[in-house]
């Protein structure tokens, strides 16, 4: 049974692609295979956890990336020859021109990521390629990193670590390495989706009051007393710490620009675990230099891993290399979730996490 949202197509007995590929007759996107009974060939762009690769070997004809390098577009297109699906990560930029070059055999892109800003969804739709992501399973891990960034930036953790490693710690004094306490402060959350909600829960453990801005107000049971700001601008002036949790898109590019940074309380702290594109680097660095923003904790950057070098030169930045979802538990869960989506697609069912 395929629930396309607008209509339901019953595929009868064809519950599994291994039984009979004839279910493809009623596949809404006209998925067709040339070799009946063959396992779908899946291009896996990066090294994945062992449990995920084992399941891929069992159920598919996977093509793994032996040395885990980032494929060039030409390499990727060549590899996709005769493949039915692609299992990419955020490191692959599947822009419209790349999607246009994918062979017709490719019918699904099952991302190993919750963010899908690296995939041109319109281009995929235009080619009837199903695109999925991996929501939910990385919310806890990413919220942990949001808290780590908040604490690390507020309490100058990177500075302290550098000082000790350089053997430059000479004294203790009341004025030494004084930071900002986050306990009892106001946390502003932009994007009260899954990660934003978990971050709010963790922050309540520090007695923080939660304010948020979201496209829509969330129900009271999710709000848990958090204060909704219909306008982003009013949130900015209300919080001591601002944490970004909204997706990157054409609409949210440089959401945090010079004008909005100026609306932050002097001495505010900015935390970003979402996407670098949300922030205008020059504007943030200027505010960090001036002290208007006291500190920034960043796990994501524009043009990663070639980040704006200005961040390295600033003492009041706490920087991590995009490790929001990097726990064993979460990476396993992301991979298995991507495979659940592929399984559904090749069984003729609607995948749980379809984004296009």
Quote the least distance from Cβ 272 to ligand DGY, whole Å: 11
User: Phi and psi (nearest 5°) for 301?
Assistant: -145, 160
Place of tokens 């726990």: 327
Asked whether position 139 contacts ligand DGY by CB under 6 A, the answer is: no
User: Is 329 designated active site?
Assistant: no
Task: Out of 17, 24, 52, 113, point to the residue binding ligand DGY (CB under 6 A).
Answer: 113
User: Is 322 designated active site?
Assistant: yes
Asked whether position 324 contacts ligand DGY by CB under 6 A, the answer is: yes
DSSP 3-state of 295: strand
Residue 156 region by backbone torsions, left for phi larger than 0, else alpha for psi between -120 and 50, else beta: left
Asked whether position 109 contacts ligand DGY by CB under 6 A, the answer is: no
Q: Which one of the listed residues 55, 229, 265, 322 is annotated catalytic?
A: 322
Task: Report the residue number, 115 or 193, with the smaller CB distance to ligand DGY.
Answer: 115
Asked whether position 138 contacts ligand DGY by CB under 6 A, the answer is: yes
Task: Out of 42, 44, 52, 114, point to the residue binding ligand DGY (CB under 6 A).
Answer: 114
Secondary structure letter of residue 264 according to DSSP: S
Task: Report the residue number, 132 or 325, with the smaller CB distance to ligand DGY.
Answer: 325
Task: Report the residue number, 116 or 150, with the smaller CB distance to ligand DGY.
Answer: 116
What is the Cβ-side half-sphere exposure of residue 354, based on CA atoms within 13 angstroms?
19
Q: Which one of the listed residues 156, 194, 275, 337 is annotated catalytic?
A: 275
Strand segments, DSSP code E, in 176-290 are: 186-190, 209-213, 227-228, 241-244, 268-272
Asked whether position 90 contacts ligand DGY by CB under 6 A, the answer is: yes
Residue 224 region by backbone torsions, left for phi larger than 0, else alpha for psi between -120 and 50, else beta: left
Euclidean distance between CA atoms 169 and 321, whole angstroms: 26
Task: Report the residue number, 43 or 208, with the smaller CB distance to ligand DGY.
Answer: 43
Quote the least distance from Cβ 60 to ligand DGY, whole Å: 21
User: Phi and psi (nearest 5°) for 263?
Assistant: -80, -15
The residue ranges that bind ligand DGY (CB under 6 A) are: 90, 113-115, 138, 324-325
């Amino acid at each position: 049974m395929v629930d396309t949202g607008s209509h339901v197509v019953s595929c009868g007995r064809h519950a599994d692609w291994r039984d009979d590929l004839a279910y493809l007759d009623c596949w809404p996107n006209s998925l067709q295979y040339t070799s009946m009974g063959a396992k779908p060939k899946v291009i896996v762009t990066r090294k994945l956890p062992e449990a995920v690769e084992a399941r891929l070997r069992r159920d598919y004809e996977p093509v793994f990336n032996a040395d885990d390098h980032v494929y060039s577009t030409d390499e990727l297109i060549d590899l996709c020859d005769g493949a039915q699906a692609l299992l990419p990560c955020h490191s692959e930029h599947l822009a419209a021109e790349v999607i246009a070059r994918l062979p017709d055999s490719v019918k699904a892109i099952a991302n190993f990521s919750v963010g899908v800003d690296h995939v041109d969804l319109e281009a995929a739709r235009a080619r009837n390629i199903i695109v999925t992501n991996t929501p939910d399973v990385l919310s806890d891990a990413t919220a942990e990193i949001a808290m780590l960034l908040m604490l690390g930036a507020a309490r100058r953790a990177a500075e302290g670590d550098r000082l000790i490693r350089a053997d430059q710690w000479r004294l203790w004094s009341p004025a030494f390495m004084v930071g900002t306490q986050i306990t009892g402060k106001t946390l502003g959350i932009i994007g009260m989706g899954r990660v934003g909600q978990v971050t709010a829960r963790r922050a309540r453990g520090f007695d923080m009051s939660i304010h948020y801005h979201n496209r829509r107000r969330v129900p009271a049971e999710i709000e848990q007393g958090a204060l909704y700001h219909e306008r982003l601008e009013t949130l900015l002036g209300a919080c001591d710490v601002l944490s970004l949790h909204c997706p990157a898109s054409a609409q949210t590019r440089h959401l945090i620009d010079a004008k909005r940074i100026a609306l932050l309380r002097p001495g505010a702290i900015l935390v970003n675990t979402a996407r670098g594109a949300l922030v205008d680097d020059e504007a943030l660095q200027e505010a960090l230099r001036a002290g208007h923003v006291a500190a920034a904790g960043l796990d994501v950057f524009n043009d990663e891993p070639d980040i704006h070098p200005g961040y390295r030169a600033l003492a009041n930045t706490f920087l991590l290399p995009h490790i929001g979802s990097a726990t064993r538990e979460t990476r396993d869960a992301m991979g298995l979730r991507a495979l659940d989506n592929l399984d559904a697609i090749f069984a003729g069912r609607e995948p749980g996490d379809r984004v296009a």
